[in-house]
Amino acid sequence: MRIAVAGSIATDILMTFPGRFKDQFLEEQMHKVSLSFLVDELVVHRGGVAANICYGMAQLGQPALLVGSVGADFTEYGAALSAAGVDISHVRVCANVHTARFTCTTDLDANQIASFYTGAMAEARELDLGAIHRAADGIDLVLIGADDPEAMLKHTDLAKQHGIAVAADPSQQMARMDGPDIRTLVDGASYLFSNEYEAGLMVQKTGWSHEEILSRVDVRITTHGGDGVVIEDANGILAKVPAVPAPNLVDPTGGGDAFRAGYLTGRASGLDHEASAHLGCTLATTVLETVGTQEYTLDHLTFLDRLTSAYGDEAAAIAKQALRSA
């Protein structure tokens, strides 16, 4: 299966606050919040949902096409992705703006306050998924992740025109997009990804019930953090998979992207939903125990050992079929 991943490509600026956000908010002053957090740590990492997913798939040995828009400062980042096995030949470079930037502060409870600078991502709407489909000799599935909203709608339309299956993953853009646009992204998707909170927001914004959303997609995948993932279709639950314990959690950023990378790798390799989720949950925990979303190099034997501990020998034997030489 030939998979393309369209979405943000960004630089992550990650900071750690050695306290709890909730202790800093005054209920009677919430209408005029003015806070500054003195942080103990600042690191800069490569990120963006599309790049994170492609990187994770490459680490598992499953190549994917990265589709997104970046600035002239992408040279070093692009070289690192290429070295990791990511196909960046369809990334659009904009000479006059910076690559998008995600700035995030995490507290002791793993709560986060973040902001996102669009930068070159705003020009992702200039990409032509149909042309990429032809140049790549065919794309079977495109994940349409958080990106310039107009680009997300355009990619969805072109995917339908060219018969490319869609994995809808609006995630962070749910807050910005209105109901009709979210309905356009979701309706007819082969896969729909969201976390538990986003699932509730989707119901609120689209006006569709959970059951109606299920009737409009083939498969819905909802992540529940430490409680694992639920995969379902209109007929009921297909799989309910617990998370892999993360005793050394250091950074929650990128766990969802890693899950998608593992799950899509499994599906591309012909695994069922449960086995694919085993890959996704195991890779997610690997990232949760790493500061940064692309700062890990996956050792397949260690990965399979961890998957075995969580899901058993039979599950590991099945997962091994999906892992290729990275």
Residues 6+ apart with CB under 8 A from 224: 195, 196, 230, 243
Q: Compute the chain's Rg from CA coordinates.
A: 19
Residue with tokens 């794309």: 139
Length of the chain: 326
Give which of 89, 95, 81, 19 is closest to 48, Cα–Cα. 81
Residue with tokens 């909802």: 222
Q: Which residues are catalytic?
A: 257
Element (H, E) at 70: strand 69-71
Measure Cα distances from 190 to 28, 33, 57, 238, 271 in Å: 46, 42, 19, 14, 16
The DSSP bridge pattern shows strands 219-223 and 191-195 to be parallel
Residue 57 CB coordination number (10 Å): 27
The whole-angstrom separation of Cα 142 and Cα 160 is: 10
Cα torsion 281, 282, 285, 291 to 10°: value is -120
